[in-house]
Amino acid sequence: MNILSVASEVYPLVKTGGLADVAGALPAALLPHGIRTRTLLPGYPAVLHKLKKPKAAGRIANLFGHPATVLAAEFDGLDLLVLDQPALYDRDGGPYLDPTGRDYPDNFRRFAALSLAAAEIAGDDVVPGWKPDIVHVHDWQAALTPVYMRFGSARNMPTVLTIHNIAFQGQFGASVFPELALPPEAFSMPFVEYYGDVGFLKGGLQMATAITTVSPSYAHEILTPEFGMGMEGLLASRAMDLTGIVNGIDVDTWNPETDPHIARHYGPTAIKQRAANRKALEDRFALDDSRGPIFCVISRLTWQKGMDLLAEVADDIVALGGKLIVLGSGDSALEGALMAAASRHRGRIGMVTGYDEPLSHLMQAGSDAILIPSRFEPCGLTQLYGLRYGCIPIVARTGGLTDTVIDANEAALSARVATGFQFHPVTADGLRLAIRRAMRAYGEPKVWARLQNQGMKSDVSWAKSAERYASLYSGLLAKG
């Protein structure tokens, strides 16, 4: 079976969030099921600079007024197709934002082009000698692919659309529609029209053969007004085609026994060796060497991620005898509040702004617990890294956090299956209570070690999830 995966970012080539991790890890996990994946992504400078000797695999003569080349390359085990169109992708900044942090004004065109190219690869002889059996697209940036396919030669090919975060929908003013190379009838309710605007994700949700999202709990949550972000009615009408499949992680990249980014390697039987990583963190964040637990946060600093709640409880963590380290960037007011907390508690709170992949590994390897107070979280990956590394997750009871962390209540502790701490409601008081629960457990070394070991035994790989995707693909082909 051949799959064309379409994504705007793919780790390790380009990454801004969990979408890249999924798009980068799933292809390898599907190989044991006889499924080969080619991944189409835009030819950003950061991508092209990393590829060695890419070959021209095809050409699109006119892609929104410019010719485009489809390059074929392999990188870190990924079979890639790269859409090389400098007019759209050769620019400074990131995948979505210019150097000043603003959306590129032509993002609608940049990602419509990605979708149109995917539809043409699926239906026409753009890449000679290769055709997919199924097209799997990710988030709004690729969501127009099933719409373009509906009006092209690949109209009968099955499509899967995965929602990684329904808060991001790709909604643009109606004025962009004439530039999308779609027939007039596509600007209507059954297709891309959305409250008078153009909705990329909305069009994909209408047209995709199957819809997945990244955890079973989130699949239920997005059917409600609280989490559906205005799409709950459309999703309810397609509930029979909606499946929640929890993400996995790349357990080779995230492996405390071999990780090149940490100070000391360890496994479940040598977990005491985490102490060397703790010492490295204390040095990196200028923390004192007091014995209390180190709580870490690796996150975008936004309201969705509950970072305002973190800022509110930072003083409490120190008062309870803990320490806090933060890696992230985002809302300037939240950055400022956390920096102020670090200034008030030098030696007890440390912060690094931005994102640093090696440092994130060290934080998982040396911190005692990771705080994830998200108001909504489709799946989340940092709690899975935490489980893998013996860094105990303290999570809000929402979305994929609910599905992947077993709360350390009395029953779970007695049964020796607990792996972390959940809290609800998602408020500052709820987070404080969870931190106090964790502090009590930390004061009982045998209980804490049991939580760590149980978490490290959790299967956070892609194995089970890849099996579910393979079953979904097979079912779509069986339906013809």
**Confidence label for 29 from pLDDT (cuts 50, 70 and 90):** very high
Q: Is the pLDDT of residue 480 over 80?
A: no
Residue 125: its pLDDT value, please?
Answer: 84
Question: pLDDT tens across 373-403, in order?
Answer: 999 999 999 999 999 999 999 999 999 999 9
Binding site, annotated residues for ADP-alpha-D-glucose: 15
Question: pLDDT tens across 235-244, in order?
Answer: 999 999 999 9
Binding site, annotated residues: 15
CB 311 within 8 A of CB 338: yes
Q: Is the pLDDT of residue 38 over 80?
A: yes
Average pLDDT along the chain: 97
Q: First-to-last CA distance in the chain?
A: 14
Residue 360: its pLDDT value, please?
Answer: 97
| Domains recognised in the chain with CATH numbers | 2-248+463-478 (3.40.50.2000), 268-457 (3.40.50.2000)
From 89, 110, 191, select the one nearest 148 (Cα to Cα). Answer: 191
**Confidence label for 465 from pLDDT (cuts 50, 70 and 90):** very high
Question: pLDDT tens across 190-203, in order?
Answer: 999 999 999 999 99
Q: How many residues does the chain have?
A: 480
